Structures are given as C-alpha cells and as structure tokens.
C-alpha cells in the first residue's frame, strides 16, 4: 500500500502520485537529521533512534513495489485503507527487520505501531487485540535487553524517543498527503513546543521556531505518476508505473 496523492497535470489531466511508504519513512529520517534547536531537544540515542525513524516502514517495501488494487473501487489501495490483518503482517516485518539496528529500535517501532492500532477503530477486534497482546509482551523483553547495556536511558528519554518517531512520521505524512498552501502549526511535537510551518513560493516553508542546527533544510521524495483511472489488477497498474517524479521542499527560518 502506498500514499495516494491526487495530482493535476498542467494539461488538466487528473493523475495519482503514488509515494512508497518506505520512501515516506526515509523522509521522516531526513526531517529528523540535524534536529535539536530552538526549544527542541536532539534525538535520544541518535545512533539508534535515527535509523529506527528512517527504517520504520521497511516492511512495506514488497507492497510499495507492487501496490494492490481494491477489487471494488478498482483503485490503488492507500495505506490508510489497509485491512488490519495486512497492516499487522507488514508492521511485523518492519519490527523484525529493526533487529539489525537494536532491541531498542524494535521496541520503539513496535510501540509506534501499537499506538496506531490502539487509536484505530479496529483496536477491539480479535486481530487488534492479538497484535497488541503479542507486542506488549515482546516490547518488555526488548526494552530489558536494551537497558542491560544502557542503564542510563531513563523513562523520560524512552518516552521522548517514542514521541520523536511519531512526530517525524506525521511530519512526513503531512508533506506527502497533499499540496500544502496554508500555514499549519504542529501542536504535538516531542517537547510540546508548537512548530508553525508557513508556505511561501512553491516548495518553500518558513519555520518558527527554527528546530534544526543547520541554516536551512532541503528534503525530497520520489513517486510514480499514474493515470487516475480504474485498474483491473496490480499488473495493470505496474504497466503505468514508469514515470518517476520527485517532490522537493525547503525549510527556512523566519
């Protein structure tokens, strides 16, 4: 499942911009780079938290490369409409893959997905309860293994690390889901310091307060432009996935 973003060509033709979930997660990591200024604390244990942010959606890579088609709507399935069982399987791959980073990375990514499930309408379904129960137990073991090696990682740091992953995930999604033309204030930041993003000319955002340690930040994502039409199946869509484009954003201080 990909991020499905409506797009209109200069000719007026309606298109879909399909952004892979793994690319969105890499954007999360790019936004987290050089973070820690203007009231915003740096990443907790960046040697672990940064790659956890960057790779938290690696489990989506197979479906990113072959997006499924909804049999009823005949459209590419957005990650927002992913059936719980499918999401659980994909999230599990992401959590398992994070083992190459650290038990703490597994803990953070699992906690992130557990929160997503807890806040969804399927939290009380059998699949939801099974997923939450399984990872609630595993999270404890991963955190215990981490703290055996890092006893100085206090509860406040752990919670801040979780909030950092969640914030950069949402920051990236906010950019990817639509063309932003109005000012927006992120209220739920890692330190609950409001962050206001104000669009200027195309792709440029004035940012207040300035949260990065560099003078400006330039990030981008790639995705496929495809016709906005009905598709018979994934193979039908894959035949149209040959126009790879990039979206660019530049953040500057006020």
Cβ atoms of 172 and 31 closer than 8 Å? yes
CA–CA separation, 191 and 211 (whole Å): 11
pLDDT at 163: 97
**The model's pTM:** 0.94
Tokens of 191: 């330190």
pLDDT at 27: 98
Percent of the chain, pLDDT > 70? 100
CA–CA separation, 73 and 204 (whole Å): 35
Which of 19-23, 39-43, 114-118 has the lowest average pLDDT?
114-118
pLDDT at 13: 86
What are the residues whose beta carbons fall under 8 Å from the beta carbon of 179, sequence distance 6 or more?
none
pLDDT at 12: 80
pLDDT digit string, tens, across residues 214-253: 999 999 999 999 999 999 999 999 999 999 999 999 999 9
pLDDT at 238: 97
Can you tell me whether residue 254 is helix, strand or coil? coil
């Amino acid at each position: 499942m990909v991020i499905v973003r409506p797009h209109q060509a200069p000719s007026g033709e309606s298109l879909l911009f399909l952004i892979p979930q793994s690319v969105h997660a890499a954007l999360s990591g790019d936004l987290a780079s050089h973070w820690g200024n203007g009231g915003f604390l740096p990443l907790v244990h960046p040697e672990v938290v940064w790659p956890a942010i960057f790779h938290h959606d690696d489990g989506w890579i197979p479906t990113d490369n072959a997006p499924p088609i909804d049999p009823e709507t005949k459209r590419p399935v957005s990650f927002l409409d992913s059936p719980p069982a499918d999401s659980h399987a994909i999230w599990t791959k992401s959590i398992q893959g994070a083992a190459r980073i650290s038990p703490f990375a597994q803990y953070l990514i699992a906690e992130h997905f557990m929160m997503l499930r807890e806040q969804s309408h399927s939290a009380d379904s059998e699949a939801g309860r099974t997923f939450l129960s399984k990872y609630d137990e595993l999270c404890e073991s991963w955190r215990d293994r981490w703290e055996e090696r890092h006893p100085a990682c206090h509860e406040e740091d752990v919670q801040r690390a979780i909030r950092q992953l969640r914030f950069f995930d949402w920051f990236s999604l906010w950019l990817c889901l639509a063309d932003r033309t109005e000012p927006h204030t992120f209220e739920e930041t890692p330190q609950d310091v409001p962050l206001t993003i104000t669009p200027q000319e195309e792709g440029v955002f004035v940012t207040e307060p300035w949260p990065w340690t560099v003078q400006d930040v330039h990030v981008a994502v790639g995705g496929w432009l495809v016709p906005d039409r009905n598709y018979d199946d994934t193979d039908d869509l894959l035949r149209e996935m040959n126009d790879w484009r990039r979206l660019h954003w530049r953040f500057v201080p006020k």
